[in-house]
Amino acid sequence: MRIVLADDHTLVRAGIRSLLVSIPDVQVVAESDDGREALELIARHRPDVALIDIGMPGLSGLEVARRTAKESPRTRVIILSMHGDRTHVTQALRAGVAGYLLKGAAVAELPLALEAVMRGETYLTPKISQTVVQGYLDKSGEAEQDPLKGLTARQREILHLIAEGRTTREMAGLLHVSVKTIETHRLRLMERLDIHDVAGLVRFAVRSGLISPAE
């Protein structure tokens, strides 16, 4: 089983890597501390599993999962997170993840999660499974509304970078576009969300689960 590992906390990543290499027939083919680089590594190595932190610089783990589903569909994404609330978990499921593993989970859960997703199943940490199942549908039986629905991949990317505190010039450099292009994307994003200040965009990004304030 070939794995790409991404977590922006060096000690956490080292600990997870140590656990992974102790599992028979598991190989960590690449690792990263940045979401954008993680996506590039997935495209390059086409791993069986991508083990991705939910909150990373560059691109969030959720955005990495969304793009991986389209660009490397055979790669199964497992999200690592400190957050077990319904918002984060349902956002991950909508992004197409194959698993959601809490960082506080028992060590024995990691191989169980890997085995489950390789069988084509969806793995959720047992501690959060019941909450998600009960809350995924509202009283009418319809799926609750996705707050990010209607945003393009580029708009989600811009929103994530704004929430990270990136300047317009920094965003332009990261995305290899002009400052004017970034300003246009930001204006359209604000119009789409009916939010007209940066602080409001940051609050929306946290509330929607796009970024995690504690990660």
pLDDT for residue 68: 94
Shared-domain flag, residues 188 and 109: no
Shared-domain flag, residues 92 and 179: no
Secondary structure element (H or E) that encloses residue 2, with its range: strand 2-6
For the chain, what is the domain count? 2
Nearest to 69 by CA among 100, 41, 35, 96: 96
Shared-domain flag, residues 23 and 118: yes
**Residue 36: CB partners within 8 Å, gap ≥ 6?**
58, 59, 174
pLDDT for residue 133: 56
Shared-domain flag, residues 47 and 75: yes
d(CA 68, CA 170): 25
Q: Would you say residue 145 lies in a domain? A: no
Q: Would you say residue 144 lies in a domain? A: no
Q: What is the DSSP string of 171-209?
A: HHHHHTS-HHHHHHHHHHHHHHHT--SHHHHHHHHHHTT
CB burial of residue 145 (10 Å; 0-12, 13-18, 19+): exposed
Q: Would you say residue 10 lies in a domain? A: yes
Shared-domain flag, residues 36 and 81: yes
CATH code where residue 8 lies: 3.40.50.2300
Q: Of 135, 169, 197, which one is at a domain's C-terminal end?
A: 135
Shared-domain flag, residues 130 and 166: no
Q: Would you say residue 48 lies in a domain? A: yes
Shared-domain flag, residues 53 and 15: yes
Q: Would you say residue 161 lies in a domain? A: yes
Shared-domain flag, residues 125 and 158: no
d(CA 102, CA 78): 10
CATH code where residue 172 lies: 1.10.10.10
Domain of residue 186, residue span: 153-207
Tens-digit pLDDT string for the chain (215 aa): 999 999 999 999 999 999 999 999 999 999 999 999 999 999 999 999 999 999 888 888 988 999 998 899 999 999 998 887 777 888 888 888 999 999 888 899 999 999 999 999 889 887 776 556 555 544 434 445 667 778 888 888 889 888 888 889 999 998 889 999 999 988 889 888 888 888 888 888 877 777 765 54
pLDDT for residue 126: 79
Length of the chain: 215
Q: Would you say residue 84 lies in a domain? A: yes
pLDDT for residue 110: 93
pLDDT for residue 20: 94
Shared-domain flag, residues 98 and 128: yes
d(CA 177, CA 63): 20
pLDDT for residue 32: 95
Shared-domain flag, residues 26 and 125: yes
Q: Of 135, 164, 192, which one is at a domain's C-terminal end?
A: 135
